[in-house]
A = this chain, B = another copy of it.
Amino acid sequence: MKNPAIILVNPQMAENVGMSARAMMNCGLYEMRIVAPRENHLSEKAIAASSGADKILHNAKIYDSTQDAIADLSLVYATTARRRNMIKVVETAEAAACEMSEKANSNVSYGILFGPERTGLHNDDVALADKIIEIPLNPEHCSLNLSQAVLLVGYEWYKKQISVPSAQLITNTSKLADKEKIKHFFDFLDDKLSGCKAFQNEEKRPSMLINLHNIFQRGEITESELNTLYGVINYLSQK
């Protein structure tokens, strides 16, 4: 499967190139291309900032011009923070990620342009791209550090490659208690509360019972948690 190439156009600071490599690694992206960097992308600063992603820096290819850097690509996106006076399709990072993922299994090779830190991409470079990616952010404060722009676009791309449950209960070595174990627990509690006047009061008992059931059954409860409850109740009832 083809992953998008991340193309840094005229990055100014080696540290930002290193941090961009780190962000790429976070998102399972490995192909970095750099157009005419101002500083050495293999400097100590860059390597340190990459936080273990120096392999990406070592494998990065350097080009003289954006034209050269995209020559072998069929689909190129330009990331911009502000609108240009240009007739072009603008997509969210998520929509672009969708599109790239759909094309990833075909033979289309694609890349994403990121501009220099201060100015962003030059209009001439934006014009070379097929489409524009705009990351939806607070319009009053949408300027991002270079590596953060790489991270957000990469993150959207990575999310499309994986399938993660949106929510799950981590039970570790324990497992969810089945309904029989839960019934056993309530019988046990009932027994321990046999001396409690409020609980045995015919008027109050039903709503207290419902409340107790709801408290302990609101979330899924594990066997390990039930055991803790047995221990607590045993101790309290001995006092």
Q: A residues within 8 Å of B by Cβ?
A: 19, 22-23, 25-28, 51-53, 83, 85-92, 94-95, 98, 131-132, 135-138, 140-145, 147-148, 151-152, 155, 158-159, 162, 164-172, 174, 219, 222, 224-225
Q: A142-B26, A155-B152, A158-B138 are in contact. Are A92 and B51 (CB under 8 A)?
A: no
27 contacts between A and B (CB under 8 A): A23-B148, A25-B138, A25-B140, A26-B141, A26-B144, A27-B138, A52-B141, A87-B224, A87-B225, A88-B169, A88-B170, A89-B167, A89-B168, A89-B169, A89-B219, A90-B170, A92-B164, A92-B167, A94-B166, A95-B167, A98-B166, A132-B170, A136-B159, A136-B162, A148-B148, A151-B152, A155-B155
CB nearest to A51 among chain B residues: B143
CB nearest to A171 among chain B residues: B87
CB nearest to A155 among chain B residues: B152
Q: Complex: how many Å from CA A149 to CA B88?
A: 32
Residues in B with CB closer than 8 Å to A145 are 19, 22
Question: Which of B152, B170, B219 is close to A86, meaning CB atoms less than 8 Å apart?
Answer: B170
